Chains A and B, each alone.
Chain A
Amino acid sequence: MTAPTGKQLDTLREVVNIGIGKAASILNGMLESHIELEVPSIIMFDPENPGEELPDVSCNDLSSVQLDFHGPFSGSSALVFPSESVGKLVTALTGEEPGSEGFDEETTGTLYEVGNILINAVMGSIANLLAVQIDFLPPNYKEGKFSDLIKLKDSKEDLASLLIRANFNVQEPLISGNIFLVFELDSFGELLTAIDNL
């Protein structure tokens, strides 16, 4: 793989930033609360052993909605919440309280659709900016530890990936979450070409 230049990484970070901004704007409208965003970080990443690069997501109690994508470049995108944020998010969106009848079913369905909306906002903005079409597989909802959630489908076990991470925090109710984009390195050249064409 050709190593990305500083300029390409800068552009990639900004393209992702615009996509995250679009997703935050949607979440802001849904929750009617301010969303704080952090600048996306770009990390070379081993999906089998995320602990070193991502020490704060090494807990085992995470919920995630994941969409795999294919097109000029391939990979996976995920919206990841610590479990304590999930209940607050679902209550804020549906009015259902944890422990009420049907709350678990409501949680899965709501996270599935919220993840679908927010991830598509990010990836759709990126695709529009780069003038490419990205196709998605239907979303998956998963619970567990980070290394299981973020594993790429069909990828070789030892294949390193390029991971882009953006953290966000909702002010009221207090909800934290992460959006992860994992690009398979064998398709990363196509992404850099699209960036160079901007």
Chain B
Amino acid sequence: MAKILVIDDAKFTRTMLKRMITEFGHESIEAENGREGLEKITSEDPDLVLTDILMPEMDGTELLSLLRETNMDVKVIVISANIQDTIRDQCMNLGVSEFFGKPPDKEKLKKAIEGILAKEEQDS
């Protein structure tokens, strides 16, 4: 069982993702913005992060930039309503593993999560 951190300011989406993660057999923890997410990445050491982009206090791209600058080795999937190609490219350039438009297709998200976790285990 992996520990997966969900960062999103919308309770509706956090609830939806938590339900999916539990169904996939993993533990879900939550944060409401990038700043709280960063604190939980440090304190909880999650195996994987699912983050939104447009959030108050600290948005997703700021969080991704900070993770990159500080060499924090955590895999990230972005799940954003903003499906513009330019946003997707920006996220991919900041090192995210996958990008999904909201709401994510459950089976595709499961496949992406399991693929990332399997690769992490193989590399460790």
Of the residues A30, A116, A134, contact of B10 by C-beta under 8 Å: A116
A8–B120 Cα distance when bound, in Å, is: 50
Those of A132-170 within 8 Å (CB) of chain B: 133-134, 136, 138
Q: Which residues on the A side are within 8 Å of B15 (C-beta)?
A: 94
Those of B43-96 within 8 Å (CB) of chain A: 54, 56, 80-87
A133-B82 contact in complex given A113-B10, A114-B12, A121-B101, C-beta closer than 8 Å: no
Those of A107-140 within 8 Å (CB) of chain B: 109-110, 112-114, 116-117, 119-121, 124-125, 127-128, 133-134, 136, 138
Residue B11 lies at the interface, judged by CB distance under 8 Å to chain A: yes
CB of A66 to closest CB in B, whole Å: 14
Interface residue SS majority, chain A: helix
Count of A-B contacts with CB under 8 A?
57
Of the residues A93, A94, A113, A136, contact of B82 by C-beta under 8 Å: A136
Of the residues A94, A121, A133, contact of B86 by C-beta under 8 Å: A133
Determine whether the beta carbon of A109 is less than 8 Å from that of B10.
yes
Nearest neighbor of B55 in chain A, beta-carbon distance: A138
CB of A193 to closest CB in B, whole Å: 18
Nearest neighbor of A94 in chain B, beta-carbon distance: B12
Residue A29 lies at the interface, judged by CB distance under 8 Å to chain B: yes
A119–B84 Cα distance when bound, in Å, is: 12
